[in-house]
Amino acid sequence: MEENIFKVSSYDYRLPKELIAQNPADPRDSSRLMVLSREDGSLEHRVFSDLVDYLRSDDVLIRNDTRVMAARLKGKKVEGEAEVEILVLSRLSGQTWEAMVRPGRRLKPGISVLLSDGTTVKVDGIRPEGLRSVTFPEGVDVLSLLDKVGTVPLPPYITDSNASPEAYQTVFANKVGSAAAPTAGLHFTPELIERIEKKGVEILDVTLQVGLGTFRPVKEEDLRHHPMHRERCQISSYTADRINKAKAQGRRIVAVGTTSVRTLESMGDSGVLLSGERDTSLFIYPGFEFKIVDAMITNFHLPQSTLLMLVSAFAGRERTLNAYKEAVSMEYRFFSFGDAMFIY
């Protein structure tokens, strides 16, 4: 294998700023769809609603059913009037959660923040990557509090959007807990899902709670030294059983998004998919041997990102970068609200 396959700089590409989508397609399934064959590298240019033409009647489509939390909280320091923002990420234990806080340097352990509804949140610890641990009062249901006074956070590259909060949720979002959306799933509409089911495709759900680590850059020049972020994933015994039977029958497993891929490959590294719940820090990059996934749907990802490396592992680095080059030349829309790829 080429040594430069492990260089982060080998996953760079030129992206004009104006191609970063600020709003989703309307309707969702009217976004563009690039179809990439792993067999011969051929490309086709379609619309996402055409996805049904590329699915087989015996395929199994796997979605991530997570729902993005209204995780962005605004308040003021109890001692003083300084405005504070808390972005809640994941539960650590009990009433204590990991969070990103701003302004970080001024929010040292021991400082309390008063939210708009009168709830007091205490900043009580410094964690890796500049994050904090924050503690909510006993008896406060944190998810209910977020729904009441929080807002859904958009990725940092979406700076000029008029999209509603629901536009950043999939139509099948069910289990609250993510700090970011599983964006490949944003293209599906109820009508498209109905067409896919009528074709005979079996649709199953897994859960991966997406963290902000998905946006963090790879700082090591050799990607093998990159400490991959952890995310919580879950597969029911019914879903694991159905997928294992499908694999035994030679049916394709089609993953919707890199989060579904990561969940399936994390729980199926032996070749047999396990059920249950676990934290995964699986980093998929070229050289990885896929055990479960046969085809995938994904958006166009940031240069030098772990998500682009995962796609490169599945489709091949050169083919992936060639596809991205063509996407740029044809002015596809990139990132969370952008267009999609189907790779088979």
Domain identity same for 45 and 78? no
Mean pLDDT calculated for residue range 311-322? 97
What is residue 105's predicted lDDT score, i.e. its pLDDT? 80
Condensed to tens digits (0 to 9), the pLDDT of residues 247-295 reads: 999 999 999 999 999 999 999 999 999 999 999 999 999 999 999 999 9
258 neighbors 309 (Cβ within 8 angstroms): no
Domain identity same for 241 and 301? yes
Question: Band of the pLDDT at 3, cuts 50, 70, 90?
Answer: low
Final residue before a domain boundary, out of 149, 173, 188: 149
- Is 168 among the domain residues? yes
Domain identity same for 46 and 181? yes
DSSP string, 235-256: E-HHHHHHHHHHHHTT--EEEE
What is residue 315's predicted lDDT score, i.e. its pLDDT? 98
| Count of domains forming the chain | 2
Mean pLDDT calculated for residue range 236-240? 98
Question: Band of the pLDDT at 213, cuts 50, 70, 90?
Answer: confident
Mean pLDDT calculated for residue range 162-187? 96
Range of the domain at 79: 72-149
- Beta-ladder partners of 97: 91, 134
Cα gap 169→220, rounded to integer Å: 32
Question: Band of the pLDDT at 2, cuts 50, 70, 90?
Answer: low
- Is 7 among the domain residues? yes
Q: What is the pTM of this model?
A: 0.95
Domain identity same for 177 and 136? no
Which pair of tokens denotes residue 31?
Answer: 């976004």
Question: Band of the pLDDT at 152, cuts 50, 70, 90?
Answer: very high
Final residue before a domain boundary, out of 97, 115, 149: 149
Q: Which amino acid would we find at residue 83?
A: E
The CATH number covering residue 196 comes to: 3.40.1780.10
What is residue 216's predicted lDDT score, i.e. its pLDDT? 83
Q: Where are the alpha helices (DSSP H) in the chain?
A: 51-54, 142-149, 190-198, 237-248, 258-267, 306-315, 317-329
Domain identity same for 81 and 108? yes
Kindly report the average pLDDT of the chain as a whole number. Answer: 96
Cα gap 262→268, rounded to integer Å: 10
Cα gap 182→175, rounded to integer Å: 12
Cα gap 295→120, rounded to integer Å: 47
What is residue 149's predicted lDDT score, i.e. its pLDDT? 97
Question: Band of the pLDDT at 212, cuts 50, 70, 90?
Answer: confident
Mean pLDDT calculated for residue range 314-337? 98
